Amino acid sequence: MVEVKIKMSMSLEVCTDGKEWDRLLESAIQGSIFHKWDFLQIMGKHSLKRIAGRELKARLYPLVAYKGDEPVGLYPFYVYDFFSVKFVSSPPEHVESLYLGPVLLDTDQTKPGKKEKNLIDLQKEADHFIHKNIKPVATVLNIHPGISDSRPFKWTGHAVEPRHGYLLDMASGTDAVWKGLHTGLRRKISKALGDGISVEEGAARDLASIHQSLAQRRAEQGMAMTSSLDYLQDVCKTFGGNVDIRIASKDGKYLGGIVNLLYKDTAHSWVGSAKTSNETGANELINWESMKYACEKKYLYYAIMGADSPNLYPFKAQYNGRLITNLSCRKYQPGFLKVVETAYKAFKRD
Q: In the chain, where are the structural domains located?
A: 10-163+327-349, 171-299
Task: Specify the higher pLDDT residue, 292 or 272.
Answer: 292
Whether the domain at 10-163+327-349 and the domain at 171-299 fall into the same CATH topology: yes
Per-residue pLDDT at 252 exceeds 60: yes
DSSP code, position 100: B
Decide: helix, strand or coil at residue 14. strand
Average pLDDT over residues 234-240: 96
Residues β-bridged to residue 330: 140, 159
Rounded distance, CA 155 to CA 349, Å?
39
pLDDT at 342: 58
Q: Is the pTM of this model over 0.85?
A: yes
- Per the CB < 8 A criterion, the answer to whether 140 and 330 are in contact is yes
* Helix axis angle, 37-46 to 18-25, nearest 10°: 120
Query: Helix/strand/coil (H, E, C) string of 243-265?
Result: EEEEEEEECCEEEEEEEEEEECC
In sequence order, what are the beta bridge partners of 258? 246, 272
Quick check: 3 pLDDT over 50?
A: no
Q: How far is CA 23 from CA 71, 115, 116, 177, in A?
A: 11, 19, 23, 34
Q: What does the pLDDT look like over 103-113, one tens digit per residue? A: 999 865 557 78
**Do residues 49 and 56 make contact, with C-beta atoms less than 8 angstroms apart?**
yes
**Angular region, 158: left φ>0, alpha ψ -120 to 50, beta rest:** beta
Residue 143 is classified by DSSP as B
Lowest-confidence range among 5-19, 119-133, 135-149, 312-326?
Answer: 5-19
CATH class of 171-299: alpha beta
Over its C-alpha atoms, the chain yields an Rg (Å, rounded) of 22
Task: Give yes or no for a contact between 317 and 307, defined as CB atoms under 8 angstroms apart.
Answer: yes
Distance CA 311, CA 185 (A): 17
pLDDT value at 2 more than 70: no
The distance from CA 148 to its chain's CA centroid, rounded to whole angstroms, is 15
Helices 229-238 and 37-46 meet at what angle, rounded to 10?
160
Please return the burial class of 154, using the count of CB atoms within 10 Å of its CB with bins 0-12, 13-18 and 19+: middle
Q: Is 234 helix (H, G, I), strand (E, B) or coil?
A: helix
Considering only 73-77, 86-90, 225-229, which range has the smallest mean pLDDT?
225-229
What are the DSSP E strand ranges found in the chain? Answer: 10-14, 48-51, 54-57, 59-67, 70-82, 85-90, 103-104, 138-142, 159-169, 198-201, 243-250, 253-263, 266-272, 301-305, 322-332
Identify the CA nearest to 280 among candidates 211, 221, 193.
193
Q: In this predicted model, what pLDDT tens digit does every residue of 116-174 receive, in sequence order?
A: 999 999 999 999 999 999 999 999 999 999 999 999 999 999 999 999 999 999 999 99
- Residue 76 bridge partners (DSSP): 62
Architecture of domain 10-163+327-349: 3-Layer(aba) Sandwich (3.40)
Residue 279 has pLDDT above 70, yes or no: no
Asked whether the predicted pLDDT for residue 253 surpasses 60, the reply is: yes
Whether pLDDT at 296 is above 90: yes
**Within a 10 A sphere around the Cβ of 101, how many other Cβ atoms?**
27
H-only helix segments in 33-182: 37-46, 112-129, 151-154, 174-180
Q: How confident is the model at residue 340 (pLDDT cuts 50, 70, 90)?
A: low
Identify the CA nearest to 86 among candidates 94, 77, 95.
Answer: 77
What confidence score (pLDDT) does residue 210 get? Answer: 94
